[in-house]
Amino acid sequence: MIKKLMHKYALSEQGAKDMVKACFFCALTNICLMMPSGVLYMLIKDLLEDNLSRDRLGIYLIASAVILALIAFTNYLQYNATFLSTYRESGVRRTALAEKLRKLPLSYFGKKNIADLTTNIMGDCASIETASSHWIPELIGALISTSLVGISLFFFFDWRMALASFWVIPIAFLIVLSCSGAEKRAIRKNTAIKMDMADGIQECLESIRDLRANNAEGKYMDGLENKIRKVEKMALFTELKMAVYVNSAAIILKLGIGTTALVGGALFADGSISILTFFMFLMLVSRLYDPMQITLQNFAAIISIGIQSERLDEVLSHKIQTGTDHLSNTGYDITFDHVGFQYSDDTTVLKDVSFTAKQGEVTALIGPSGGGKTTISRLAARFWDPTEGKITLGGTDISGIDPETLLQKYSIVFQDVTLFNNSVLENIRIGKAGATDDEVKEAARLANCEEFVSLLPEGYNTRIGENGSELSGGERQRISIARAFLKDAPIILLDEATASLDAENETVIQEALSRLIRNKTVMIIAHRMRTIANADHIVVLKDGVVAEEGTPSELMGKDSLYRHMTEQQMLSQNWKME
């Protein structure tokens, strides 16, 4: 049962055990809350039978005091078991989710959009939190206590009256249950539409600059408004549908008062039950149905929570990239051995790619845009695993190495630089946690950051805006290069690392790079032939296959794509506007 609960509500083992405990204490509290009615019943019975002695009154008073203390105590237990453990569990769930996201392969993020994941972490966790702290324990607790009361009334008082009062409860639950399929479908649809809207808003905020530049703001906003209206309509429709089911169930519940009165009246008239029993059942139904109505709403809400749990469970149980954290490579040669790769099932990005990037050499990947260069650098760092063939590092298949351990050996400068809204110093320090300020500044100096940092209002301590929005493209790139300098790992992957730099900056950085890369494995991707002119080995990629391979002079000596690209760039450099 614990395993089932863990799976159904995305709980940890402790969380599932706590939930069982919470349900038990809720039932206990409910039973204690019914005890005063029992005392009242006995008291009235004694009064009617003229049996109320001083001693008995004393007993009732003591019993009332004990019951009160019991209610306070069970309430305390219930509070501990539901709220405290729920919030503890919520913390555990969010941490587990964050930990999982850290370990998920990048292919997972390619399939999911950020809005979806944000909703997962914030929204779904919050819903499950409410369900665990309120809905589920209260529902199960109410069901247990109501069943116990129903059974005892059936056997110890009058089975006909018990049936007349309780028949409505299973029917009401069945009505709500019968709509669970429709409810789940509506919520799935609702979530998809909401996700689409959240995605639209995020995309709009991210691309507002381009939308303005292309005068496309108005048209885009109309589309976004449509998405928002759709969410509004769907939410109203879903609410209405649910209200019909839950209110029908609530009306059925109220019918119970009628049947209790009718059956009780008839039985009292023919002398089968006493006025006291009749009175007790009437008191019971008037007290029972209101909380039952809330329980029905909880029940409907729990059905809907299934969708959120499924989504969380999908993240939590997604396969992660694993491997040993003990490296057994000899040297740092990276070899692609008949590697094939697809991002999705329908398009092949790399086909039978084989080459070696040797340690102590600079291997340049060049070729037309979309040829698969960036993909190769991602595979080399195990951001994705190849679909076919294998990649080895110093003879060891990297698919057997833990990604975090592997990445300790890589300094990477990506084509699209990511910076954080923090100081320049901290943005560079990401390259090596725990690096001293002096080490960070030395890396910054090597990457030629000093000149622009000295112009910032607070120098190295200036915050650079979200994703470095307050810096130019070249400045952002230099911060990213400084990170790589600081990390100083044995393998260096540079994807268009100097593409946004002017010739002067590029020359300075290349000089620094040439000092950094000594005896390391360097894979460099560049469109500018000038950048890779001194490479030891060139791999030309075209349409996902290795079209040519060799040293620059070998390739220049024949009618190669490399020679053609170099000549083309010379021509374009000499091109003048007429």
Ligand X SMILES: Nc1ncnc2c1ncn2[C@@H]1O[C@H](COP(=O)(O)OP(=O)(O)OP(=O)(O)O)[C@@H](O)[C@H]1O
Answer yes or no whether residue 165 interacts with Mg ion by CB under 5 A. no
The binder of ligand X chosen from 372, 386, 394, 431 (CB under 6 A) = 372
Answer yes or no whether residue 373 interacts with ligand X by CB under 6 A. yes
Q: Which pair of tokens denotes residue 469?
A: 């929005």
What 3-state DSSP class applies to 372? coil
Nearer to ligand X, 371 or 431 (CB): 371
Select from ligand X, Mg ion, none the partner in contact with residue 93, using the beta carbon and a kind-dependent cut-off of 5 to 8 Å: none
Give the residue at shortest CB distance from Mg ion.
374
Residues 384-421: b if buried by 16+ CB within 10 A, e if exposed: bebeebebbbbebebbebbbeebbebbbbbbeebebee
CB of 373 to ligand X, least distance (A): 4
Answer yes or no whether residue 374 interacts with Mg ion by CB under 5 A. yes
CB of 501 to Mg ion, least distance (A): 17
Task: Answer whether 372's CB lies under 8 Å from 541's CB.
Answer: yes
Nearer to ligand X, 137 or 403 (CB): 403
What 3-state DSSP class applies to 357? strand
3-state secondary structure string across 254-305 = HHHHHHHHHHHHHHHHCCCCCHHHHHHHHHHHHHHHHHHHHHHHHHHHHHHH
- 292-295 own/partner pairs: CB under 8 Å, 24+ apart: 292/142, 292/146, 292/169, 292/172, 292/253, 293/250, 293/253, 294/138, 295/138, 295/139, 295/142, 295/143
CA-to-CA separations, 505 to 348, 386, 501, in angstroms, rounded: 37, 36, 6
CB of 314 to Mg ion, least distance (A): 30
Choose one: 94-102, 251-259, 367-375, 406-414; the region binding ligand X (CB under 6 A): 367-375
Q: What mask of x and - would describe binding to Mg ion in positions 408 to 427, judged by CB under 5 A?
A: -------x------------
CB of 340 to ligand X, least distance (A): 13
Interstrand relation of 334-344 and 347-357 (parallel, antiparallel or unpaired): antiparallel
Answer yes or no whether residue 371 interacts with ligand X by CB under 6 A. yes
Select from Mg ion, ligand X, none the partner in contact with residue 349, using the beta carbon and a kind-dependent cut-off of 5 to 8 Å: ligand X
Separation between Cα atoms, residue 539 and residue 523, nearest integer Å: 10
Select from ligand X, Mg ion, none the partner in contact with residue 90, using the beta carbon and a kind-dependent cut-off of 5 to 8 Å: none
Degrees to nearest 5, angle at CA 253 with 248 and 256 = 135
Nearer to Mg ion, 444 or 497 (CB): 497
Separation between Cα atoms, residue 314 and residue 116, nearest integer Å: 12
Answer yes or no whether residue 377 interacts with Mg ion by CB under 5 A. no
Burial (CB < 10 A; 0-12, 13-18, 19+), residue 230, is middle
Degrees to nearest 5, angle at CA 383 with 381 and 385 = 95
Answer yes or no whether residue 343 interacts with ligand X by CB under 6 A. yes
Choose one: 36-44, 201-209, 231-239, 366-374; the region binding ligand X (CB under 6 A): 366-374
Choose one: 244-252, 295-303, 365-373, 500-508; the region binding ligand X (CB under 6 A): 365-373
Select from ligand X, Mg ion, none the partner in contact with residue 369, using the beta carbon and a kind-dependent cut-off of 5 to 8 Å: ligand X
User: Which residues, in sequence order, are bridge partners of residue 1?
Assistant: none
Answer yes or no whether residue 477 interacts with Mg ion by CB under 5 A. no
Separation between Cα atoms, residue 316 and residue 61, nearest integer Å: 54
Q: How many residues line the site for ligand X (CB under 6 A)?
A: 11
Separation between Cα atoms, residue 576 and residue 578, nearest integer Å: 6
Nearer to ligand X, 225 or 416 (CB): 416
Answer yes or no whether residue 374 interacts with ligand X by CB under 6 A. yes
Q: How many residues line the site for Mg ion (CB under 5 A)?
A: 2
Answer yes or no whether residue 375 interacts with ligand X by CB under 6 A. yes
Q: What are phi and psi of 106, to 5 degrees?
A: -65, -25
CB of 539 to ligand X, least distance (A): 11
CB of 383 to ligand X, least distance (A): 10
CB of 415 to Mg ion, least distance (A): 5
The binder of ligand X chosen from 38, 58, 91, 110 (CB under 6 A) = 110
Separation between Cα atoms, residue 56 and residue 486, nearest integer Å: 85
Site for ligand X in 305-324 (CB under 6 A): none
Site residues, Mg ion (CB under 5 A): 374, 415
The binding site for ligand X (CB under 6 A) comprises 110, 343, 349, 369-375, 415
